Amino acid sequence: MKLSRRLCCCAALAFALAASGIAQAETAKQPSLKIQTLDGGSFDLAAQRGKWVIVNFWATWCSPCIKEMPDISEFVGSRKDVAAIGLAYEDTDKAEVEAFAKAHPVKYPLAQVDVYQPPADFEKPRGLPTTYLIAPDGSVAKKFTGPITATDLDKAIAAAKK
């Protein structure tokens, strides 16, 4: 599907959900997330306690998402106190997401989520990328809508430590 068609479909879906009055679930104060990763492993947010965790919703067709992935990967690779999970938020074949992951390798696991039943403890992204910084105690330290950089993550961690 062409990029412009996907964007139109996503915009139409978002508008329809908003117009329908369906309540938007809020992100839990201490969200849980257990998911199978594209490489056949698993990721459990609770098992990451003691670390900062980046939970990044992205899509293969999202230019800002693709641009931020290397920066997030470098950030994760440079710090022992940080982990991440990339959640492909799109309605496409798993094989397409796997091919994208091979072409755009990162130092953190990737998984694909169902856009109709996304992780229950996170609100549905209203735009991509959407990133959550989870504190070592498991609470949400910061939510970012739009692309982020390592500097953004450093600043958010420093602010949350105060």
Residue boundaries of the structural domains of the chain? 27-161
Reported as a pLDDT band with limits 50, 70 and 90, residue 27 is confident
Element (H, E) at 50: none
Compute the distance between CA of residue 14 and CA of residue 127 in angstroms, rounded to an integer: 9
| 34 pLDDT more than 70 | yes
Reported as a pLDDT band with limits 50, 70 and 90, residue 25 is low
Strands 52-58, 130-134: pairing is antiparallel
Reported as a single tens digit per residue, the pLDDT across 100-117 is: 999 999 999 999 999 999
Residues near 121 by beta carbon (within 8 Å), at least 6 away in sequence: 27, 28, 31, 32, 33
| 88 pLDDT more than 50 | yes
- pLDDT recorded at residue 1: 45
> What is the third-level CATH fold of 27-161?
Glutaredoxin (3.40.30)
User: Is residue 92 packed enough to be buried (19+ CB in 10 Å), middle (13-18) or exposed (0-12)?
Assistant: middle
